[in-house]
Structure 1
Amino acid sequence: MASKSAATAVQNHLLTEKELLAMPESDYMNEAQLAFFRDRLKRLEQDIISNAGATTENLRETQFVPDPADRATIEEEHALELRTRDRERKLLKKVQQSITRIDSGEYGWCEETAEPIGLARLLARPTATLSLEAQERREMRQKLYGD
Structure 2
Amino acid sequence: MAARTREKDLTAAQVKELTNALVTKRDELLDALKSRRSNSAKQETQRGTGDEADQASEDAETALETRLMDRDAKLLREVERALDKVKNNTYGLCEGTEEPIGYARLKLRPWTRYSVTYKEELEREQKRQGEG
Corresponding residue of 1:59: 40
Cα offset, 1:66, TM superposition: 2.1
Corresponding residue of 1:88: 72
More contact order relative to length (CA 8 Å, sep ≥ 6): 2
Cα offset, 1:102, TM superposition: 0.9
Corresponding residue of 1:105: 89
> What SS is found at the alignment partner of 2:13?
helix
In the alignment, the residues of structure 2 paired with residue 49 and residue 29 of structure 1 have an alpha-carbon distance, to the nearest angstrom, of 28
Cα offset, 1:60, TM superposition: 1.6
Match of 1:120 among 92, 99, 104: 104
Corresponding residue of 2:3: none
Corresponding residue of 2:23: 42
In the alignment, the residues of structure 2 paired with residue 118 and residue 58 of structure 1 have an alpha-carbon distance, to the nearest angstrom, of 39
Note the alpha carbon deviations across 1:39-82, whole angstroms, 9 max, x for none. 11111111111111111111121324322111211221111011
With normalisation by structure 2, the TM-score equals 0.84
Report the RMSD for the aligned CA atoms in angstroms.
1.7
Amino acid paired to 1:128: T
With normalisation by structure 1, the TM-score equals 0.76
Cα offset, 1:108, TM superposition: 0.9
Corresponding residue of 1:20: none
In the alignment, the residues of structure 2 paired with residue 97 and residue 76 of structure 1 have an alpha-carbon distance, to the nearest angstrom, of 32
Cα offset, 1:27, TM superposition: 7.6
- In the alignment of these two chains, the number of paired residues is 121
Amino acid paired to 2:110: P
Amino acid paired to 1:112: G
